[in-house]
Structure 1
Amino acid sequence: MVKQTIQIFARVKPPVRKHQQGIYSIDEDEKLIPSLEIILPHDLIDGFVNNKRESYKFKFQRIFDQDANQETIFENIAKPVAESVLAGYNGTIFAYGQTGSGKTFTITGGAERYSDRGIIPRTLSYIFEQLQKDSSKIYTTHISYLEIYNECGYDLLDPRHEASSLEDLP
């Protein structure tokens, strides 16, 4: 049996605006565990002092900066999961983040260019390519594609696009 801990990755989204507030730094020297530090400068607008914390530091198995493309994300995150699935183990990729942080782009991809395909289309292509190579076996595949938003579940493969309680999803 394959024993592996849950892997946690971070992907830094490129800024929408040129002068977006907040900066980050990636430190990969700290005991081979990469850390991401987010720095939110204090605002002194209208003479008010902001005493909130200015620096936040998080550790991840790997951090992908703003230059990471969809192929890099697939090769490093999704492909190992797909290979485990092909070996007979269950696999899950869970994208978490606030609205607008880039989860949909990472998971589904962009529609403008073929190279912008996300984790799902790349993983499906990879799995079916591998299954086609071995015609001596019969395979059954099951795929779930769910969104959880405001404590409601959405089966994204259901054309009705109706909200359900999480317990009622198939």
Structure 2
Amino acid sequence: MVKETIRVYARVKPLGRRQQAGIYSVDDDEKPLSSLEIIVPRDLADGFINNKRESYRFKFQKIFDQEAKQDVVFDSIAKPVAECVLAGYNGTIFAYGQTGSGKTFTITGGAERYSDRGIIPRTLSYIFDQLQKDSSKVYTTHVSYLEIYNECGYDLLDPRHEASRLEDLP
């Protein structure tokens, strides 16, 4: 049975070569939620008063730090969804964030190493492994892989790669 309808996770992206280090801290003591605090230092402009907020705190079910591996992310996020799907429920994993924040790597993975496989290939492997173990039933599977960008929808499994209105997507 599904325990919760929506769960929200955060993954802190490792720094690139030219990126300045951000200041953040993770507090896992607040069960059942973890807290992510991001510190944005004030610009100390010459003589101007800057009352901009310096600290932002957000709560998530779980926060994956910069060292988190793809298998850990899969086990925590996608595997429970896949198990609910196998029990007959619909499941959705929705990645949200600004451009360059690491959504594609988390969802599809990297091409360099097998261990860098993302949520989609790991989930498909897991589901088909589970289906193969049960020969007493016949299964039908449907997969959607959609991108929403600038209020247009893209079916990423459609080789035409054409933009559609959101309501026209399958």
Question: Residues 161 and 47 from structure 1, CA distance in 2 versus in 1: closer, same or farther, beyond 3 angstroms?
Answer: farther
Matches of 1:58 and 1:146, distance apart in 2? 27
Give the C-alpha shift of residue 46 in structure 1.
Answer: 5.4
Give the aligned partner of residue 37 of structure 1: 37
Distance 2:31 2:115 in 1: 34
Report the 3-state secondary structure (helix = DSSP H, G, I; strand = E; otherwise coil) of the residue aligned with 1:80. Answer: helix
> Residue 162 of structure 1 aligns with which residue?
162
* Alignment partner, residue 28 of structure 2: 28
Q: Secondary structure at the match of 1:89?
A: coil
Q: What number of residue pairs does the alignment pair up?
A: 170
Q: Measure the CA separation in 2 of the matches of 1:55 and 1:148.
A: 30
| Distance in 2 (alpha carbons) for counterparts of 1:12 and 1:79 | 20
Structure 1 match to 2:102: 102
Moved more, 17-26 or 68-77: 17-26
1:111 aligns with 2:114: no
Aligned partners of 2:58, 2:65: CA distance in 1, in Å? 14
User: Equivalents in 2 of 1:63, 1:156: separation in Å?
Assistant: 28
1:25 touches 1:37 (CA, 8 Å); kept in 2? Answer: yes
More displaced, 40-49 or 77-86? 40-49
Shift of 1:17: 3.6
**CA separation of 1:15/1:46 partners in 2, compared to 1, >3 Å: closer, same or farther?**
farther
Identify if the C-alpha distance between structure 1 residues 153 and 161 changes in structure 2 by more than 3 Å, giving closer, same or farther: same
Q: Is the 8 A contact 1:22 1:41 kept in 2?
A: no
TM-score, normalization by structure 2: 0.94
Q: Is the 8 A contact 2:24 2:37 kept in 1?
A: yes
In the alignment, which residue of structure 2 is the partner of 1:140?
A: 140
Matches within 5 A, 1:84-99: 84-99=84-99
Structure 1 segments (4+ residues) deviating >4 Å = 45-49
**d(CA) in 2 for partners of 1:162, 1:46:** 50
**Alignment partner of 2:147: what SS?**
strand
Q: CA RMSD in A?
A: 1.5
Distance 2:36 2:77 in 1: 18
Bigger shift: 140-149 or 2-11? 2-11
TM-score (norm 1): 0.94
The 8 Å contact of residues 36 and 57 in structure 2, kept in 1 or not, is answered as yes
One-letter identity of the residue aligned with 1:138: V
